[in-house]
Amino acid sequence: MDKINRHSNYPYGIIDCDVHPYPADKDAIKAYLSQPWRDRYNGGGRGHYSNPVHGERLDSRPPGGGPGGSDPDFLREQHIKPYGIDHCVLLPRAFCNLHPDPDFATAIAAAYNEWLAETWLGKHNYDGVFKGSITIAHQDPAAAAAEIDKWAGHPHFVQVMTDSGARAPFGQRQYYPIYEACARHGLPFAIHPGTDGMGINIQPSPGYPTHYIEWHTCLPLGFQAHLVSFITEGVFERFPDFRIVLVEGGVAWLPALMWRLDAEYKALRYEVPWLTKRPSEYLRDHVRITSQPLERPDQDSHLLQTLEMMDAKQLLMFASDYPHWDFDSPQFAFPKLPVDLRKRIFSDNARAWYGL
């Protein structure tokens, strides 16, 4: 393994929980699709809610060409080595969860998993720095569970991932086969924004926003709805080994949401008798949340108060969102933190959650 030059502030090795690998072009994915899906596949994307300026760091495009995040060696030089990152948890963007045809969506997810396993987790992973996410199409939970079973034994897949865009809150029972498979294999279930209001999915705000800035700002709404659904539907009681990761959905909303849900539970617990404790008490055992995009108030002291209120020492894991336009550098993501808290956020929490 190449020697990594540790940044002086991070001598312990960072775990970056949100790095996006991209194929060089759509043909790289088509190569893993059988017919008739190969001819139907025309790449991914969000359609009308795309960044109107640019969607990636302008300096992230590899010298040899291709989009940002498409060259593992360039990513090592630009991101891993400068900050002393021990592992990048890779979340491909297949955008398969917007398709009305569940068979097509499942085929796209499977192709992305094959591509990731052969490339980033295979021939380009000589040092083991890359850890992957099993992409699933939640339109067909049984097929998604089979895809999880297929890849669960791979040494470098460390979680299952899906988009937050959906037709129903994730706590509902039609999704149970996915959670059974995750719990069976000890794999966290990661939720990432990207297809909210796209294709067959419901927009979490009351209607469709006019602009990208509005859509992007309101992405945490879907995360909040899914988290409340997981808790109140009793998913964590039914599957005590099931764990989730909320990726790229913001951070600061968590304390207020849990305060409200705990207050509602005091008066309405008869409606959810399967809950054995206050809703917020399920977080420590079952939920982790990543730091990007990190809401930054004008005063750093207010951010530190928010981190304390959300129990960041236990729940928060660092994420950069490389190579996207709103990338958070490990060097500037947080104000000066106590040494123990910094180590928990940048390293220890993710190591424990993913077994790294």
Residue 300 lies in a domain: yes
Question: How far apart, in whole angstroms, are the C-alpha atoms of residue 9 and residue 27?
Answer: 41
Check whether 1 has a pLDDT greater than 60.
Answer: no
Residue 3 lies in a domain: no
Residue 1 lies in a domain: no
Tokens standing for residue 274: 């399967």
Residue 6 lies in a domain: no
Looking at 18-27, 136-145, 149-158, 205-214, which range is the least confident one? Answer: 205-214
The chain-wide mean pLDDT, for the chain, equals 92
pLDDT band, very low/low/confident/very high, at 330 (cuts 50, 70, 90): confident
Q: Is-cis flag, bond preceding 100, omega within 30?
A: no
Sheet with 316-317: list strands edge to edge: 14-19, 85-90, 130-135, 157-163, 189-192, 244-246, 287-290, 316-317
Question: How far apart, in whole angstroms, are the C-alpha atoms of residue 62 and residue 324?
Answer: 14
Residue 208 lies in a domain: yes
pLDDT band, very low/low/confident/very high, at 231 (cuts 50, 70, 90): very high
- Please state the domain count of the chain: 1
Question: How far apart, in whole angstroms, are the C-alpha atoms of residue 61 and residue 63?
Answer: 7
Check whether 46 has a pLDDT greater than 70.
Answer: no
Looking at 82-96, 177-191, 315-329, which range is the least confident one? Answer: 315-329
Residue 8 lies in a domain: no
pLDDT band, very low/low/confident/very high, at 109 (cuts 50, 70, 90): very high
**pLDDT at site 54:** 62
Residue 95 lies in a domain: yes
**pLDDT at site 310:** 95
Task: State the average pLDDT over residues 129-157.
Answer: 98
Q: Which domain holds residue 170?
A: 15-354
What is the separation, in whole angstroms, between the first and last Cα of the chain?
A: 16
pLDDT band, very low/low/confident/very high, at 88 (cuts 50, 70, 90): very high
Task: State the average pLDDT over residues 227-255.
Answer: 97
Check whether 300 has a pLDDT greater than 90.
Answer: no
**pLDDT at site 2:** 45
194-226, pLDDT tens digit by residue?
899 999 999 999 999 999 899 989 999 999 999
Q: Which residues are within 8 A (CB) of 339 and not within 5 positions of it... i.e. 6 or more apart?
A: none
Instruction: Give the residue ranges of DSSP H helices in 119-194.
Output: 141-151, 176-185
Residue 139 lies in a domain: yes
Task: State the average pLDDT over residues 114-134.
Answer: 97
CATH code of 50's domain: 3.20.20.140
